[in-house]
Amino acid sequence: MSEKPLLDKVAIVTGASRGIGKGLAISFAEAGADVAISARTIPDLEVTAREIEARGRRALVVHMDAYDYPSVEAVVDKTVEHFGKLDVLVNNAGGSRNVQDGWKGFLEASYEVVDEVFRLHITSPYAAARRAAQAMIKQGTGGVIINISSAFAFYPSTNVQNYSAAKVALNEMTKLWAVELGPHKIRVNSIGPGATRSATLEKILTTTEAEQAAAQNIPLRRLGEPSDMGAMAVFLASDAAEWVSGATIVIAGGARYS
């Protein structure tokens, strides 16, 4: 790939206030893209925006509630209005407002938590991807959609089964969207991170000892970094991946999750 494989492209990264989303946004800026970033926490987004601008690229901060579909669609509309086009969408917003309840097993999790997890990890990305695809089709220049999935979609755990099932569904949608949007020159892929430094992981690994123990369970003996996911997203968004569509790539340092 060239030094700036996304030069003058316009990308959206949802959930870009911190963790993997922030890493994705900065990686895109370093690759030459202007980036629209969205989340619920504006002050954190503004920090990310300054880091994008420090790399010589433009940033657009947009408030988004991932549970509110008009809010999700508005991110795409505002991006196109501000930058004049859209080349890449990264559906990264995730987690759960009820993380601990969301990680209960089948016999314990409430209907409400199951609904919430699927709303956040399936229907919200659906809303963003559809709006983005409509904009890309109207432009007539093609585009790229990247969904951030999880290694748990391939190596499910009973402790996170609602989340795992939602990510399995997202991977299936990735393949279906790739088929439908391919004739419009829109590629759709997903990335499945393993144990990567993020706001969610911080709630689980609360000490240095816990981090070190987790790293020892990974063949490459370290946790994933947001920049690891960013590098793969930049590749998938670039012309180097022009014949890659409908794929889910697991980045987990060789680890399995069960």
The CA-based angle 92-93-99, given to 5 degrees, is 125
pTM, rounded to two decimals: 0.94
Question: What mean pLDDT value characterizes the chain?
Answer: 91
pLDDT digits (tens, 9 = 90+) for 52-65: 999 999 999 999 99
pLDDT digits (tens, 9 = 90+) for 111-151: 888 899 999 999 999 999 999 999 999 999 999 999 999 99
d(CA 129, CA 217): 35
Q: Which residues contact 115 (CB under 8 A, 6 or more apart)?
A: none
Task: List the domains of the chain with CATH numbers.
Answer: 10-199+226-250 (3.40.50.720)
- Among 81, 120, 105, 93, smallest CA distance to 37 is for 93
Residue for token digits 């890449």? 88
Indicate which residues carry an active-site annotation: 163
Say yes or no to pLDDT of 247 above 60: yes
Q: Which residues of 145-158 are buried (b: 16+ CB within 10 A; e: fewer)?
A: bbbbbbbbbbbbee
d(CA 157, CA 153): 9
